[in-house]
Amino acid sequence: MKTVKILAVNLIILLAFSCVAEFLAYKEACSYFKNPPAYSLKKEDYTLENLKNNMREPVGLEYKKAPVLIYGCSYAYGFALNEKDSFGYKLSKLSKRPVYNFAVSSKGLQDALFLLQNDEKIKPEPKYVFYVFINDHVRRMFVNCNKIDNIKYLTYKNKNGVLVQNGNKSALSERFYIFGVIKNVSYHLLKKPLNKQLYVLVKLYFVSINNEIHKKYPDAKFVVLDYENGGKPFLNDERIKDLQTEGIEVVSLNKVFDNKLKTDEYRNSAQEDVFRHPNSKAWDLVAKFIVKEFDL
């Protein structure tokens, strides 16, 4: 009987600790958002429709030139920016081309691959497909960046060099906030010793995205725009050369602009954007460079 009581007390303590930890993890996740949703363990299915509900509308559809496609996260989307200040809008106006911005905040490589595999074909076929890359897309292969996302988290598995969709995760570990914290801490502890393996997976994503592009649009050119505004770039010179052997062009924007994009002048203010995304001036520079560099 004494043993049963001890087990019951320990169970109650563990449950109480878990509830407190889950509450604190939820509050931390909400701290980055002005109007966070109420706590819930329910998640909507990861579908094409749910993904596209969070994108910008295409711009420049009045132009007759071949369009340009953009993929990526909140950088490419233009977090905290009006449409006219976003990369896609500026690129469209300068190039006189339709621009389809398929970037979704908090998403990454797997989402771009999913879109290319499942979305309708754009007509006329695009001339260029740009993917705006940041270092955090590496982490997002394993951890849902948006901790309060109400849509299930999508991943792919590497099966003998082929990325196979792992489906909409429905395990409780993908719903409780505390597990997100644990996964995030684990990633940061392991990313340095696993750096080479991480690149192997990132490369597989880029190669897979490139293959999907050429299935749909045989003449389109895939270009990765590396926009890292802090820290050591994941795509170093050696890796850029390696990707180029796969027919994937990589542009290191910080090298192009002498690290200017990392300065306050080209980032949103901390008051409006805790993550300091690129501002309108930054996209002015980038759009002008892209139009000239790729003869758009």
* Span between the terminal Cα atoms of the chain, in Å: 79
Tens digits of residue pLDDT in 100-110:
999 999 999 99
**pLDDT classification of 60: cutoffs 50, 70, 90:** very high
Mean pLDDT of 158-182: 77
Tens digits of residue pLDDT in 277-296:
999 999 999 999 999 999 99
Single pTM value for the model: 0.92
Q: What is the pLDDT of residue 281?
A: 97
Mean pLDDT of 205-221: 97
Mean pLDDT of 51-69: 96
| CA-atom Rg of the chain in angstroms | 21
Residue 16, number of CB atoms within 10 A of its CB? 10
CA separation for the pair 69, 100 (Å, rounded) = 5
What residues contact residue 149 under an 8 Å CB cut-off, 6+ apart?
Answer: 43, 106
**pLDDT classification of 141: cutoffs 50, 70, 90:** very high
What residues contact residue 129 under an 8 Å CB cut-off, 6+ apart?
Answer: 68, 69, 70, 71, 213, 217, 220, 221, 222, 223
Residue 11, number of CB atoms within 10 A of its CB? 10
Torsion of CA 58, 283, 270, 153, to 10 degrees: 40
Q: What is the pLDDT of residue 178?
A: 75
**Which conformational region is residue 35 in: left (phi greater than 0), alpha (psi within -120 to 50 degrees), or beta?**
beta
Q: Is 102 in contact with 120 (CB distance < 8 Å)? A: no
CA 2 to chain centre: 53
**Interhelix angle 195-216/237-244, nearest 10 degrees:** 30
Q: Is 233 in contact with 254 (CB distance < 8 Å)? A: yes
Give one DSSP letter per residue of 155-177, joined into a string: EEEEETTEEEEEEE--SGGGTSH
Can you name the residues that pair with 249 across neighbouring β-strands? 223
Tens digits of residue pLDDT in 230-267:
678 999 999 999 999 999 999 999 999 999 999 999 99
Q: Is 177 in contact with 22 (CB distance < 8 Å)? A: yes
Q: What is the pLDDT of residue 168?
A: 60
Q: What is the pLDDT of residue 159?
A: 92
Q: What is the pLDDT of residue 30?
A: 66
